[in-house]
Each structure stands twice: as C-alpha cells, then as structure tokens.
Amino acid sequence: MRAKPHSRETDRLRLLESYAILDTGEEVEFTEVTELAAAICEAPIALISFVAADRQWFKARHGFDCVQTDLDRSICAHAVEQGAFLEVPDLLDDPRTVDNPLAHGDDPMRFYAGALLVADGELPLGTLCVLDRKPRRLSDLQRQALQVLAGQVMRQLKLRRANDELEILRREADHRVKNSLQTVVSLTRMQRNAEPSSEAQAALRVVEQRIASVTALHEQMHQGGMGSAVALADFLASVSHLLDGTMPRHVSCSVSVENVTVSAGQASALVICVNEFVANAIKHAFVGRERGAITIEGRYLDRGAYQLICRDDGIGMPEDDGAASGGLGMRAIRACVAQLRGAMRQERANPGTRLQIDFPLNGEGLG
C-alpha cells in the first residue's frame, strides 16, 4: 500500500527543497552514519532516505545498491505520513507493507525500522532507516541509538544550510564592497582629470592607486572562496592592471613574479610597498623623460623566504623626499617591511632606483 501524503505535504516539500540535499554527491559524514546505524542495529542495510514528491532518494546507503526508488516501494513514506518512529517487525504481516515490492522477489526484506529526519519545530524530511531479511525487533537501546543518529543527520543538514546562507550573504557583501570601492576609484579619477593643478593631480593619482590596490586585494581574497589566502602573482598582476589606469601615458609597469600564497596581511603590506615605490617613481624618476618603465619582480629564496624587487629606469628619487629615511613614502615602506618581519635595501641603480624586500613566507622573521 502506498503511503498517503503528509497532512502538510506542500510545506514539507518546500522545507525539503530549502535544504538543497536531493541529488547531491556522496559525503563521508553521512555514509559513516549509515555504517554505524547498521552496526548498532545489527542490520545488513541502512539508508538515509529523503521522501520527495515522486520518489524516495538515498543520500547515503549501506548494503543497498539503488540510489532511489519510486514511492510504491517507500516504507519511509509511511513513517513521514504518521510523523513518528516506525518499526515493522514483519513486512508481510503489516497491511501497509504486505504488498510492497521490497518484501517480495529474489531478495525480499522482512524488517524495517526508521527514525524521522526532523528538526525542532519542522516537518519530517525522511528517515534514517535499517532493513533486514528476517522478521525481528530492535532493542530499546538500538531504537534510541537510531533516533540519536537521525538527530545527528539533521544537525549536519542544518549546518550545511546555514553555511550556504552565509556564503550567499558573503558574496552579496563582497559584491557591494567591490562596487563601492570601484565607485570611489572612478570618482577620484574624475576629480583628478578635472583638477587644473598638476600637484593636486599627482596627489589624487596616489589616492587612486591606493584605493585601486585595496580593490584588487579584496577581489583576490574573495575569489573562489580563498578567504585569507592570496595568490601573490595574480594579486600583483591585478594591482599592475589597475595602476596602468592611473599612470601617465609615457610610463609603463610590468610584473613578473614567481607565484606563492601569502596571507592577507602580507599581501596588504606588499601592495603598500609597491604603491609607494610606484608613486614616488612617477613623481620623481621620469621628470623630463619621454618614456619610463617600472618593473616588479619576485622570486623564491632559500629557507622559505621570498624576494620582491621594485625598480625604475629613471633618474632616481631625490634624497629629500620619498627616498629619504624620513620621507612619508619610505616610512610607510619601512613600517610594512617590519610588519612582514623582513629586510629591505634601497639603492640607486644604473639607471634609476632599486628597492629590494626579503621576507619569510611563514611570517616568523628572517634569521
């Protein structure tokens, strides 16, 4: 006999859909529950079964090959209908299951016990059930254990749903933050283009660079769910692309670094160093030049360290500004190098200026 739909079937199916569990792949935490249920109940078969509108689908199976069955074969649907723990000592001796195809054929089932999958105050979604090929009964301890395990399944489902909801919120917040940062960059660029003073233009260009770099860092941190891990090569490439839009037309910037994963704090410190070097180079290195080039290079060192080199091919920065130890730009770079627990060296090159930063990838400092 096919079970009747639950008295609140529409609400129940809507709730089941909200968990987004149907037709998902195998997961060890659910498979282990069926294995444990089978062992405790001394049953050859255990299933995590969800009763949908036109089928019952098994999230996890132990000792059973089918991924799903139609509702004519569903004993779990009877448990869902009555809204309580269901135990059928002999399927051939119960009017609800006597004609069930599972109780007949080459490998007939004779026993069923199912604990409802239901969260507090919610409707039943299915069961954690065990089946056997001989008539029998569960002990009180086995019955209690099956119900406890069913509760564990529901806690896993609720945690999955909460994580999915948090991910949706995170993506929405990420989208809003990124749009806000991009808007600020655009407004700053518009203000710079409208500013008649060359000094004001230079100051706004630096502000634009810094905001653009923060935008790139935010994007890298949230791309593909990376969290606090940042791929340095991709990040610096994004920063370079954003800097291209703020540079004078006769100045180019290129990035060539060996990739490594760094923390968000390390990425933030490194981008400040790059920003300050680029800003000072634009301000000082290419005065009177028809063209100029800035390069950012990175490579692994021994003992888990990394080296970042910023250089330009200009005339060099004057000692009384960003290149000086007391200049604002250099103070920012020194503070960031200290945050990285690294070491730095700035020197005049032939041509231009060269800044070298060595830092440990594990953040423990250079020995």
Give the model confidence (pLDDT) of 118-160 as tens digits: 976 789 999 999 999 999 999 999 999 999 999 999 999 998 8
**pLDDT top residue among 190 and 44:** 44
- Position 224 scores a pLDDT of 46
Of 26-35, 47-56, 208-217, 245-254, the one with minimum mean pLDDT is: 208-217
Beta carbons within 10 angstroms of residue 42's beta carbon: 12
Q: What is the CATH number of domain 221-360?
A: 3.30.565.10
Sign of CA dihedral 14, 18, 23, 29: negative
Q: How far is CA 305 from CA 109, 124, 156, 270, in A?
A: 64, 55, 41, 14
Instruction: Report the sign of the C-alpha dihedral through residues 79, 83, 86, 90, in that order.
Output: negative
Write the pLDDT tens digit of every residue in 76-95. 999 999 999 999 999 999 99
Architecture of domain 9-161: 2-Layer Sandwich (3.30)
Taking the CB of residue 300, how many other CB atoms lie within 10 A of it?
A: 13
Domain ranges in the chain are 9-161, 221-360
Tell me the DSSP string of 147-216.
HHHHHHHHHHHHHHHHHHHHHHHHHHHHHHHHHHHHHHHHHHHHHHHH---HHHHHHHHHHHHHHHHHHH
Residue 165 in tokens: 């909801």
9 pLDDT more than 70: yes
- pLDDT, tens digit (0-9, with 9 covering 90-100), for 183-216: 887 888 788 888 888 778 777 776 777 677 666 6
At residue 323, φ and ψ (nearest 5 deg) are: -80, -20
Residue 318's φ and ψ, nearest 5 degrees, are -65, 150
Instruction: Report how far residue 312's alpha carbon sits from residue 284's, in angstroms, rounded to the nearest whole number.
Output: 11
Highest mean pLDDT among 161-165, 207-211, 218-222: 161-165
Q: What number of other Cβ atoms are within 10 A of residue 346's Cβ?
A: 19
- Please report the sign of the dihedral spanned by the C-alpha atoms of residue 332, residue 253, residue 323, residue 360: positive
